Structure 1
């Protein structure tokens, strides 16, 4: 077994926290021993060099320009840096979709309040059936000039894979910039900043790669000067990676392990294991739909290994309690309109027996 999961547990909540593999945990232990053998050396100038090398390697694996990317603590810290750094004033308008992660929406709310800027929350039609429906909602609720549009590669609770090229074109036509939350991107779907027309992308690596947590990433256009939320010794650096390399004393091991995690992920990809996960997600789609669960999006908007469903007639606590008692781990919560959402992520440790277990348990809840 490549993971330390309890054998009696059915884990479909990979997307919340990720899961470190035994190989990466062993590498992390080795690195920690090395650091503790001489912290002055290994947390000093040597660390900046190693982090720069790791950043370049990760950027290459993701297919993005390493000069525009940095590793950081997590998606939240990268988002905080981005939202605090972009210029806002009383004439600015920021558009945020109501399906965005709650802390991201709150961060924009705080930034706009401080600057006197206008914040527009656009209600996304869920289930999302077409790009045209999404663009119509944007046109209707945000018809004027826009400075920033905040969207996700894949929304967190509703697990909708957003049509980013169309959204990038929409905000460009209004004279604004596209800001992308890619928390569920790396290791799951490709990052394509140029195709999307993105100005900044923040995300995480520990959700879909089997690395130690936490590890975040930030990609920005050269025109944007994004600085860390914490003013540390490297805050003034002209080099993006160095700027984020020292947030004060921290544990660098998760960042130093990412290369090992990506190597293992590539082995899984070559062996077809990730393709199997996609097929299993489709199996779960069919099984849950057969018992009345409603997918949150049309097929073309469903991510490869993350799916979300609306459960009618039940509450989130009812579903959580039933699954918890059965030792089944999924994400359950409320959507923007209070509807009960069930989100599951398939990974290489899942099989059809796991799908049967969660489906049977949900069917019991729905039939009460």
Structure 2
């Protein structure tokens, strides 16, 4: 604890005395200008010291969401109803605040930005949780859907930055997002290496421009870090309203982690239903069979899907029994309420479990 306090004190001093070389750039901060956000953001306004805007929490439809993930919680990117508030005049705090697993900001397309950590257990040696990037949980854009089917980034939003292009990022030097303390997030050097500022950043990944404006800058190479701590005072900056997915019994679905390499992901509307499909390869999992025994598979192609509580194909964890050791999963395939036109029969699905009960109490395999 003493070491942490000393480190934070040193960090505060570093932020207040940045070298002159770090102030060569002059960034553009345009929190109140709708032109400084993408089409996914709406109702931009500024009043009472804050910029406010709304979004549905999904990036450009052309961005390859979820593709490239090798470890998934079987969550699907769904529309949310976000309202964000960003301080217009943020100030540096006396001491920076370490980030924790959870939101740390928002991209200019209205997609939240999270700390790089997963919700896994804290490593006693490092004091940090596992990296979502290193765990294979992120797609090629740097994001994934969380336990609330909320799509968010854990590293620099690579697809968004590429979509914005050199003029936005390196010529006009406009933000690609804002941190929850109100300071802008840029990507200088992403396209033009002459703008690289990696050597000028403080431990939070921040610096001041030629006018004294503090900003963060994402790492332009692997592991594409966004920020390591918050140099300003963290604010409650987001509100959200949405409905959680549920299964056929009405229980909320939060998903279990499985080793499933996602090759493609789609979402299509059918009336009031939005059907999500992820195709890929299940690898190294132990599958519960009809005879009550478990079989480990090396690799098997198939699809995960969800339209509503009466139309889905997902894996759940089976009860432990004497017939297998360790964790086993089973595929729940429910199609009674699939919307017309969905074409579930055309999907390559896994074999549904239809065997005897595995619990001593007698009911079918329970979900955890």
Q: Establish whether TM, by shorter chain, passes 0.5.
A: no
Which of the pair is proportionally richer in helix?
Answer: 1
TM range (shorter): under 0.3
- Normalised to the residue count of structure 1, the TM-score between the two structures is 0.27
